[in-house]
Structure 1
Amino acid sequence: MSLKKRLAAVLAVAIAAGLTFGIAKSGREITEKQEEIIFSPEKETIYLWYTDEILTSFLSSVAVSYNETHDVRVVPVLESGPEYLEKINQATIAGEGPDLYIIGNDSLEKAYLAGLAEEVEPSGTEAMKDEYIGTGLLAATYKDKIIGYPFYFETSALIYNKTYLQDMAVTRMQTEEVQAAEDAGLLTNEAIEEAEQAKEASEDAAKETAAEPSYTQEQITQKMQEILPSNMEEMKTFADSYDAPVQVEGVFKWDVTDIFYNYFFVGNAISIGGEAGWDPEQIDIYNQNSIESMKVYQEMNQFFSIETAQSDYESILDEFINGKMVFTVATTDAVFKLEDAKADGLFDYEYGVTTLPDINEELGTRPLSVTSCVVVNGYALDHRQAANDFAHYLTVQNADQLYARTGKVSSSSNVDYGYEALSVFAEEYEKSISMPKMLETSNFWVKLEAAFSEIWNGADANEKLRTLSEEIMIQVTGEDYQEPYLEETAAKQEETEEEQQQDEPSKEQAEASEEEAFD
């Protein structure tokens, strides 16, 4: 699934009945209570535009609650997605624009330059850095000004079959106990054989009867943490040593056709606009770390043999649910889908979520994230403070309800998400890099996705990244740009030299050999 389609996808959630909300021009029914609240002539009225229909029930209930306790009535308006920002602009020119609206952080530069966004002005609140996750504030920042209220986010993390790893942890501990006893001379060959038979019997019993193992959960969890791969080298080692159950078809598989799931490989190595994604002076695509990271990415294809034609996020997640793989890269929607499958008896395992593995011990990884923000229209002069106050109320004071009602994960800090897995996603979000806002690099993702595809299928990582960097720099600077070719990294050169030294005899050895020959 493409990034554009994935971001537009709507989660299937159960929405509580009993609240019908709308405005006259949209043709939706308005309940008597809402009509009394919304159209009371004494109250200031502000309009909130949004494009994702799944937010309707949540926004409606928050608006009604706010209307009942404030001298402001809020009217949410569902608008179509195509040319959304242009529609806001035209409506604003006609005097019918929204006072605030929800939009992705990657569109904030365009909104700000059009005058449709301005620096936020929350009143009577604590410092925003204490109320929102740091990545959300960076995502909402343009030229060192926070021009939106972070609302909800999307990012990726590593999901694993916890049941498989628990079984592996128990087996590993049993093996270690037998080995330790053997090393200490406490077991005879007969006793070792009996211990091995007992271990196999306990494994079969655990699978057939789901009996509790003879280890504490704390011991099992600790061993699982040791087993979990922390980088790609460990992932390959895991795959080589894993004694997979018969239903497992692969150890690690993810959608290699979508840049959102691939980006973590280079997320810690490249920069597009800096941490906040708006500075054209901070562009760094072609460097030693990005080259090495993409070489490892290419090796993953050689090791795990993932066919791009069979690489689709939804189908891979279905395979994970069916127990056909151990690890996959997924977004927050996977939590709802897995919990829903468990409730329906379609997922017979436990699952866990952890941070994405690094490249190796030296090179880290970093996922991509998108933050949807509530933005105050820069032309909403008559209702500026009211719009700011409601934006803060919506994004902070109602954060605990957001996931249960919409499937969206709040960018507010200190939120009780209701699922431990979502807390891990929040940790990854805090570590992530936001999609940049620069208009000059708006096609970067299409180009990067193409580069990933070519490198995955065997193209030279060095040359592809060099070409990509030159193309983007030409777009940003408006001038011809050439990257000097980068040779092997110093680390690789040292590794090569060490290998050569191991293969070649030392000077002393050579001299000794010569003396023996003459003798």
Structure 2
Amino acid sequence: MKVDVKKLLIGGSILSLSAMVLGACGSSSDDTDTSTAGDTETSTKVEGDIKLWVDTEHIDALQGQVDKFEEEYPDVTVTVAVGSSADAKADVSKDPEQAADVFMMPHDQVGQMAEAGLIYPIGEKQAETIKDTNVEAAVDAVTWQDKIYGYPYGVESQVLYYNTSTLSEDDVKTWEGLTSAGVIGTNFAEDGANYIFGPLFMSNGNVLYGDDGEDINGTNFNNEAGIEVMQWIADQKDNAGVLQASESALSDLQSGKSDAFLSGPWSKNDVEKALGDNMGVAAYPTIDFGSGAQQMKAFLGVKLYAVNQQTQAPLAAMALAEYLSNQETQEIEFTENGVVPSNKDAQSSDAVTSDAVAKAVMEMSDTDHSVVMPKLPEMVSFWPPMDALINDTYKGQIKADDFQDKLDKFVSDISKVSE
């Protein structure tokens, strides 16, 4: 069945189709199930040849699950190919009809791809399963304008890695304690500071694109709390416990030049090599911006599978996406690739709860420690000016008298798409 996006968009029929085709996706492979859309009874046989795009490092872990899926759905053939989840929007939009039926992607592209008609909204049955089985932050991340558009399979946040021979658990509970007892190597002055320190503004009570991350005019960084954050960033230049480091952060940690750095689960193996038994992991510390201690927050990312809206086998594609995001597959992904599960039961498994990095990421995934990265298409306009704001403030190129004007301009600039 080939889906014509233009026809489906007329009269909201795309939602009717989704409700119709998704009814059977969470069921077994019984191919005689039927579902009703309006007054029409429609066959929901799960069949077809579908293509799956996954990042290279996931192929070995997922192949066994794909084989099991094909056993459960004998009328479906899955071809696994390498794709780049980070480039999902660009790769799918080049030629949606030739793109994979199911593909990995990061949640912050959901809004752009939904608006472009590239991914399916998920029907009620599977949506309820996603809500019931995954942590709240993951559900929020795959939701766009009150509809779920993806199947989450992992959560990702930065954590604090530190050397336990120089820093204690109490030291790393506060930024002040951390930078008094040791040195953190981190990036305020180069590209990429936006991802690490952009959430400081939310740490101090502000919001980015509103409370739900979907309000184009909902950013309020240009207030007193935002000015406090700017001053705090400027003060870090003279903080002896802060070492400017980007590419050198890991080597500085290994050499003893620094005692801590902020990174994600992707750095776990490298930090273990650098610190050995002295590797410590913790959630972010608190920070006092001038009005009392606030929990330092990070951006939370969610990994998900999405279904191409141009797929010719929507039932098979949606069944596969659900299968590859179930508890069993998430546990395999954690064991093989270190992906921290979004599934609540998988998070409770012994393997996950006994892993220090996973525990820290799960703590960071609550609303007190992180903010789900907004999915608004205008988010592409956030990154360059945020880098400039942090870099120039840290370097002393933006003076205190100019903080308000710079924040006013920033809030205005990020309300427009500038691709």
Shorter-chain-normalised TM-score: which range? 0.7 to 0.9
2:51 is aligned with what amino acid?
Y
Distance 1:264 1:352, change over 3 A: farther
Instruction: Specify the SS of the correspondent of 1:337.
Output: helix
Residue in structure 2 matching 1:377, options 308, 312, 317? 308
Question: Do residues 230 (structure 1) and 173 (structure 2) align?
Answer: yes
Do the aligned partners of 1:156 and 1:330 also contact (CA within 8 Å) in 2? yes
C-alpha deviation, 1:327, in angstroms: 2.5
What is the CA–CA distance in structure 1 between the aligned matches of 2:414 and 2:300, rounded to whole Å? 24
Q: Deviations over 1:467-515 (max 9, x none)?
A: 244344256379xxxxxxxxxxxxxxxxxxxxxxxxxxxxxxxxxxxxx
C-alpha deviation, 1:43, in angstroms: 4.9
The percent of aligned pairs where both chains have the same amino acid is: 21
C-alpha deviation, 1:434, in angstroms: 2.5
Aligned pairs for 1:39-438 (under 5 A) are: 43-50=47-54, 52-71=55-74, 72-79=76-83, 84-92=88-96, 95-121=97-123, 123=125, 127-165=129-167, 224-225=168-169, 227-236=170-179, 238-239=180-181, 251-256=183-188, 257=190, 258=192, 259-269=194-204, 270-304=206-240, 306=242, 308=244, 311-313=245-247, 315-339=248-272, 341=273, 347-360=275-288, 361-380=292-311, 382-397=312-327, 398-414=329-345, 415=347, 416-417=351-352, 419-430=355-366, 431-438=369-376
C-alpha deviation, 1:253, in angstroms: 2.0
Distance 1:421 1:461, change over 3 A: farther
What is the CA–CA distance in structure 1 between the aligned matches of 2:221 and 2:123, rounded to whole Å? 35
Q: Deviations over 1:70-93 (max 9, x none)?
A: 23332222236796434423433x
What is the CA–CA distance in structure 1 between the aligned matches of 2:262 and 2:277, rounded to whole Å? 17
C-alpha deviation, 1:276, in angstroms: 4.1
Instruction: Specify the SS of the correspondent of 1:374.
Output: strand
Tell me the TM-score normalized by structure 2.
0.75
Distance 1:411 1:109, change over 3 A: same
Q: Which structure carries more strand by proportion?
A: 2
Question: Do residues 463 (structure 1) and 402 (structure 2) align?
Answer: yes
Root-mean-square deviation (CA), in Å?
Answer: 2.9
1:59 is aligned with what amino acid?
L
Instruction: Specify the SS of the correspondent of 1:369.
Output: strand
Do the aligned partners of 1:231 and 1:357 also contact (CA within 8 Å) in 2? yes
C-alpha deviation, 1:142, in angstroms: 1.0
C-alpha deviation, 1:461, in angstroms: 5.2
Comparing 319-328 with 419-428, greater Cα deviation is found at: 319-328
Comparing 456-465 with 323-332, greater Cα deviation is found at: 456-465
Q: Give 1:171's aligned residue.
A: none
1:296 is aligned with what amino acid?
W
Q: Give 2:35's aligned residue.
A: none
Q: Which ranges in structure 1 are unaligned for 5 or more consecutive residues?
A: 1-41, 166-223, 240-249, 479-519
Do the aligned partners of 1:289 and 1:363 also contact (CA within 8 Å) in 2? no
What is the CA–CA distance in structure 2 between the aligned matches of 1:393 and 1:122, rounded to whole Å? 17
Q: Deviations over 1:103-154 (max 9, x none)?
A: 1222212211121123223757864233222222222111121111123333
C-alpha deviation, 1:455, in angstroms: 0.8
Do the aligned partners of 1:151 and 1:373 also contact (CA within 8 Å) in 2? yes
Do the aligned partners of 2:300 and 2:370 also contact (CA within 8 Å) in 1? yes
Instruction: Specify the SS of the correspondent of 2:177.
Output: helix
Do the aligned partners of 2:207 and 2:221 also contact (CA within 8 Å) in 1? yes
What is the CA–CA distance in structure 2 between the aligned matches of 1:354 and 1:83, rounded to whole Å? 30
C-alpha deviation, 1:294, in angstroms: 2.6
Q: Deviations over 1:52-84 (max 9, x none)?
A: 221222232321121123233322222367964
Do the aligned partners of 2:173 and 2:286 also contact (CA within 8 Å) in 1? yes
Comparing 416-425 with 365-374, greater Cα deviation is found at: 416-425
C-alpha deviation, 1:462, in angstroms: 6.4
Q: Which ranges in structure 2 are unaligned for 5 or more consecutive residues?
A: 1-45
Tell me the TM-score normalized by structure 1.
0.62
Count residues with an aligned counterpart: 355
Distance 1:87 1:289, change over 3 A: same
What is the CA–CA distance in structure 1 between the aligned matches of 2:276 and 2:356, rounded to whole Å? 19
What is the CA–CA distance in structure 2 between the aligned matches of 1:444 and 1:403, rounded to whole Å? 31
What is the CA–CA distance in structure 2 between the aligned matches of 1:294 and 1:99, rounded to whole Å? 45
What is the CA–CA distance in structure 2 between the aligned matches of 1:142 and 1:164, rounded to whole Å? 44
Do the aligned partners of 2:213 and 2:374 also contact (CA within 8 Å) in 1? yes
What is the CA–CA distance in structure 2 between the aligned matches of 1:82 and 1:160, rounded to whole Å? 28
Q: Deviations over 1:424-452 (max 9, x none)?
A: 11211233112222223412111101110
Which has the larger Rg?
A: 1
Q: Which structure carries more helix by proportion?
A: 1
Do the aligned partners of 1:122 and 1:388 also contact (CA within 8 Å) in 2? no
